[in-house]
Amino acid sequence: MNEARAAIRYAKATLDFAVEKKAADKVDKDMRNIATVISESSELQNVLLSPVIKGASKKNSLNAIFKGSNEITLGLIDTLTSNKRIEMLQQVAYKYIILFEKMKGEDIAYVTSAVPLTADIEKKILAQVTKLTGNKVTIENKVDKSVVGGFILRVGDLQYDASVANKLNGLKREFTNSL
């Protein structure tokens, strides 16, 4: 089974269990924290991916880092460790967030741009994404200078890359292939 499908299955099972226990909001908060912490820490990413570090050590580290998380979240960490899939924790967290938002009829549009979005541009993007998804949408803007210009829009599993960096890479591939 490929990693994305497995991550969706773990996320769906976690969401179903959290809804049953009436803790979906708390687990959502935990998943957002997990996604942020892992994405901001290259050391933690390396620990999770390392085949040398034992699963029990990874589990103990994660339990210490995310101490105070909901028991369902800690159970997910335990399950992923037991099934030797702990490297998927960040993916599962992202998928959980997406599924939880869909369940609530909301979406978050992640917009990565070289400069912060103006209110006018944000309003236009919001209108288009709302029309596209039919759901209530909020925008999260991330500034990344490597985009060069334009933007990358991600809503759920859909991604639209209108960045200058992407267009330059496309040109580079065309020139390389034509030589």
How many percent of the chain have pLDDT more than 70?
Answer: 99
Of the listed ranges 83-92, 113-122, 127-136, the least confidently predicted one is 127-136
Give the lowest-confidence range in 18-32, 59-73, 162-176.
162-176
Give the start-to-end residue ranges of the domains of the chain: 3-101, 106-178
Mean predicted lDDT score pLDDT of the chain? 88
- Per 3-state DSSP, the chain is made up of helix, strand and coil in percentages (nearest 5) of 65, 15, 20
What architecture does CATH give domain 3-101? Orthogonal Bundle (1.10)
Give the separation between CA 6 and CA 70, rounded to whole angstroms: 22
* The pLDDT value given to residue 28: 94
Task: Report helix, strand or coil for 23.
Answer: coil
Judged against a pLDDT cut of 60, whether residue 1 lies above it is answered with no
Higher pLDDT, 71 or 125: 71
Alpha-carbon distances of 161 from 31, 164, 172, rounded to whole Å: 25, 9, 16
C-alpha 24/C-alpha 11 separation (Å) is 12
Beta bridge mates, 107: 137
- What CATH number labels 106-178? 3.40.30
pTM above 0.75, yes or no: no
